Structure 1
């Protein structure tokens, strides 16, 4: 409900803070006192159009803040969550209007667009006036109201679920058809690519493994070259080059051929040299043998290295051709194979999905037909309930028709296939038409009141505002209006601007709107009335400018009757 309204520098209001309670709150006052300014101010907070003329003369800006306390689980909390806003128990809608007409909007002090503010406001307050009705006057709201009146939540939920299933089946079929169409366009290339990549048969991690093996073979090749070079030094093929083994042998023979003079000791001296030369020959032979063994062990397979090079080239060439990395080739082959399989099995899949789509559509239509039947039954009950409410409101010749008509298929949705419209005829023989086109201002407000009396239990909007719903009526009709406003206020918060004492007497809270002069400027004030002041205000409404004891007595009678 609306808990409070704070207004700053709006037209004739300099500073005003109002608190509202549950039930019926009435605002009274003489014509021109500024009651419309209050409604305009509330409208600003609800996202209505901002105008520079609303800013109090001489001020830079006007501001209005409305504090709401929605009931738990109210749809406004879901809307706030959709917008990424943290839900809070209290909800403050604030609007600031500059003197040039520009405005800013805030929800709980977070800047928002005016469109979002208007959406939130429409979920919290419904205004019914003689000239600008919102809510029931909008045919788009009639279906939900009828469903709430008839308690049709279960069949409506079934329709929504069936609609979702149908949409999902449609999407799956459309996706399959698009996949087959795309595959058909690329069929020749697809088959060639799958055959080519299938013959290549790229494996996961193959490039890395091949590169490592190639590096190992290349290192082995370099080791073999080094061993061969070492052997070449020990075993030169050029006969003109010095042969290390032959040189050692020749040196030993030369020493052995030298004659040894008796007693000279030369033979003994040369023996260590000959032994060293013999050892050198043995070590050299061992070195040659070991090098030859290493050469045999380290010799890489030249054909394997060539095969590796060819494989790497083929993989990298295929990757370049398809615009992917080598590591992605196995995945690409799998994807293309699936596409080809989808093409081969596409017709069967599309056929199966078509059957599923048709079954989902039939399920939706069956659920929608059940909802339509329930709505038509609820429509007759609603018409009967409204027929009982209209005569006391001086609308005894009026007739409300709840039309449940099938929409075109393009307009079907999760709420069903029906277009629900409340139509009215205010005179016998007159064809029913839309509420706002058939009824006059006063009739429309009373029709809205009758509808609210019947539909209050299903209304998601917790606060209703009626602007002069009693215009042009009096006596028993005004009393009936007051009694019905009080009935609606048992379920919802109701604010009513009224000139009728019969309506004012029904209020749980009475606010008097008055205009006075302060500092040479007109100013609108709102005064909460206690019991005595309230009696005096109702007496004034009964008697006019001069309040008499008879008027006070009549006011007492009205207040006792409303208690």
Structure 2
């Protein structure tokens, strides 16, 4: 619902703030007072083209701000906002602001965050319908007729949508399998050789790193082996350091009593022998740990080179060879058992198509039944609106298979015949301006019986009619406003009398500047405005009495 509209510097409107509510709001005023300016301003925040000609003379920019009630959680508006990165807090109203500069260019904001004009158009289509004399949106756009009929029928399209997704997924798997089969058939010889080669090698993930580390360790041992042997010979060989120290110790043991210092020398040599022996033990332990079998080193090197060579051949990392082997084996199996696999996928896709066709047929039957009810409901509304010679029908036609989609297999379009014997045709092609607006009203009333929640704006729907027809229009607008917010620009006192709120649009001038303003009317002002609409410039007592009668009846 549109809660409020704020306009700054749009054509003749300098500053205007309007509050709206649920029900029927009527806007009246003399011809040329500026009613179209108000609708142009509303159109701006709904994504209409930002024309610099809308900027009031002398102003730098025009600004229009519209406040809407909080979108329902999980609804289409909330989903669209979330998809575009706009998250509203619970209870937070939806604010749309549009700026148009006098030198060209415009900017848009949704809750003070920059937004594109495209997003505004999408939001606008969900928030408000504006029906004018030459409107080609809403009910006049055949692209939306199917969803309108589904809403009227309260049809659950989820089953068709799910069946469509399953069918398309089955077809995608079948197409992928066929493509792989075609490629695999061409590569059969290559696949067989590659699978045999990889199977024989039997690569394992992480094997290349393990082999490389073990090979490096053995190579280090190979280099150290000779050096360790030389060190061992220096320490404990026949003429090594330990042997010479032991010889020196034996000599000192025989002459140790010749001088006290010799005993200390012997003790030092004994310690050196102990440390040397310990060093020899550590060297022997290291040599044992670094010992390796040359045959194992050769086998590891051969295996490592084979892994790396095969990885280069297939342009993958060595660790990916095992995965590659599985993939190539699967492709080869597809070639060898491809026909059976394709036959199974073909049966699956055919079964999915049959389920979709059945769900679509069920939905089509619902649509046909609802179309008959909708036709009858619209026909009931036509006679009071002076369209009793017209006929209305909802066409539900089967689409060719290539036209099937997630919404079913039907084309839905509203058609009318305005005169007896005249052929049916799309509404917008054969109805005049006044007839068009009344057809839209009749259809809206019929559709609203099944619910609806958007704000509706009717621009001079009563043009060219009066008396009983105008009363019928007012009665239907009032009925429509029971479930929707309805705003109507009208010249008909019968329509104006039906309003829950009344706004007067008037033009004023101080001799230099001309301005357009909109004033909410109280009960007395409203009676006076309706009397003016009845009598013209000079409001007579009779006009006031008739205005009061219209308000009392309404």
TM over 0.5: yes
Question: CA separation of 1:323/1:3 partners in 2, compared to 1, >3 Å: closer, same or farther?
Answer: same
Match of 1:138 in 2: 141
State whether residues 123 and 460 of structure 1, in contact with CA within 8 Å, keep that contact through their aligned partners in structure 2.
no
Conserved in 1, the CA contact under 8 Å of 2:205 and 2:322? yes
Contact 2:451 2:483 survives alignment (8 Å): no
Task: Tell me if structure 1 keeps the 8 A contact 2:453–2:483.
Answer: no
What pairs up with 1:362-441 in 2 under 5 angstroms?
Answer: 362-441=354-433
Give the match for residue 49 of structure 2.
49
Aligned residues of 1:162 and 1:360 also touching (Cα < 8 A) = yes
Contact 1:404 1:418 (8 Å CA) reproduced: yes
CA distance in 2, matches of 1:18, 1:340: 73
Structure 2 counterpart of 1:168: 169
1:86 aligns with 2:91: no
Deviation at 1:325, TM superposition (A): 2.4
Q: Distance in 1 between matches of 2:459 and 2:214?
A: 90
Partner of 1:186: 187
Query: Which consecutive residues of structure 1, in runs of 5 or more, have no partner in the other structure?
Result: 237-242, 253-265
Greater shift, 467-476 or 169-178, is seen at 169-178
- Aligned residue for 2:172, secondary structure, equals helix
Q: With the length of structure 2 as denominator, give the TM-score of the two structures.
A: 0.88
1:213 alignment partner in structure 2: 214
Q: For 1:338-349, what aligned pairs fall within 5 Å after superposition?
A: 338-349=330-341
Residue equivalent to 1:27:
27
Q: Answer yes or no: is the 8 Å Cα contact 2:218–2:290 preserved in 1.
A: no
SS class of match (1:136): helix
- Residue matched to 1:255: none
- Distance in 2 (alpha carbons) for counterparts of 1:514 and 1:290: 113
Whichever of the two has the greater Rg, that structure is 1
Measured after TM superposition, the shift of residue 476 of structure 1 is 0.6
Aligned partner of 2:115 among 105, 112, 119:
112
**C-alpha displacement at 1:331, in angstroms?**
2.4
Q: Relative to structure 1, is the Cα distance of residues 124 and 302 closer, same or farther in structure 2, using a 3 angstrom cutoff?
A: same
Answer whether contact 1:125 1:461 (CA < 8 A) is retained. Answer: no
The reply to whether residue 10 of structure 1 matches residue 10 of structure 2 is yes
Quick check: 1:173–1:354 contact (8 Å CA) kept in 2?
A: yes
TM-score by length of 1: 0.87
1:298–1:396: structure 2 CA closer, same or farther, 3 Å change rule?
closer
Seen in structure 2, the aligned counterparts of structure 1 residues 133 and 215 have a Cα distance that, compared at 3 Å, is closer
Number of aligned residue pairs: 524
1:330 to 313, 322, 334: 322
Tell me the equivalent position of 2:65. 65
Q: Work out the CA distance in 2 between the residues paired with 1:345 and 1:370.
A: 38
Mapped to 2, the partners of 1:541 and 1:234 lie a distance apart of 127
Secondary structure in 1 matching 2:392: strand
Q: In structure 2, the residue corresponding to 1:57 is in which secondary structure?
A: coil
Gaps of 5+ in 2: 248-254
Change (3 A) 1:538 1:328: same
**Deviation readout 1:261-281 (Å, 9 max, x if unpaired):** xxxxx9x99xx9xxx9xxx9x
Instruction: Tell whether the 8 Å contact from 2:452 to 2:484 is kept in structure 1 after alignment.
Output: no
Contact map agreement 1:4 1:67 (CA 8 A) in 2: yes
Query: Hey, what does 1:550 align to over in structure 2?
Result: 542
Note the C-alpha offset of 1:336.
2.1
Q: Where does residue 151 of structure 2 map in the other structure? A: 148
What do you get for the CA RMSD once the two structures are aligned? Answer: 2.9
From the superposition, tell whether residues 290 and 108 of structure 1 become closer, same or farther in structure 2 (CA, over 3 Å).
closer
Looking at structure 1, the residues matched to 290 and 521 of structure 2 have their Cα atoms a distance apart, in angstroms, of 111
Match of 2:205 in 1: 204
What pairs with 1:220-239 in structure 2 (closer than 5 Å)?
220-226=221-227, 228-229=229-230
Partners of 2:140 and 2:25 lie apart in 1 by 23
1:309 deviates by 1.9
SS of 1:27's partner is strand
Q: Secondary structure at the match of 2:337?
A: helix
Q: Deviations over 1:51-109 (max 9, x none)?
A: 12111111111111111115524421111122221034411121111113321122111
The C-alpha deviation readout for 1:436-480, integer Å capped at 9, x for no partner, is 111100000001000111101446551000001100111111000
Deviations 1:366-418 (A, max 9, x none): 11111112211111111111111111101110110111111232221111111
Q: Please give the alpha-carbon distance, in whole angstroms, between the structure 1 residues aligned to 2:389 and 2:101.
A: 48
Residue 291 of structure 1, CA deviation:
13
The answer for the alignment partner of 1:317 in structure 2 is 309
Alpha-carbon separation, structure 1, partners of 2:550 and 2:369: 40
Partners of 1:557 and 1:45 in 2: CA distance: 38
Distance in 2, Cα, partners of 1:413 & 1:147: 15
Asked if structure 1 preserves the Cα contact closer than 8 Å seen for 2:26 and 2:489, the reply is yes
Cα shift at 1:134: 2.1
Q: For residue 256 of structure 1, what is the aligned residue in structure 2?
A: none
Q: How far off is 1:199 after superposition?
A: 1.6
Contact 2:71 2:94 in 1 (8 A): no
Q: CA deviation at 1:221?
A: 2.9
Q: 1:326 to 1:550 in 2, by over 3 A?
A: same
Supply the distance in 2 between the matched residues of 1:432 and 1:367 (Cα, whole angstroms). 30
- 528 and 326 in structure 1: CA distance in 2 versus 1, 3 angstrom threshold: same
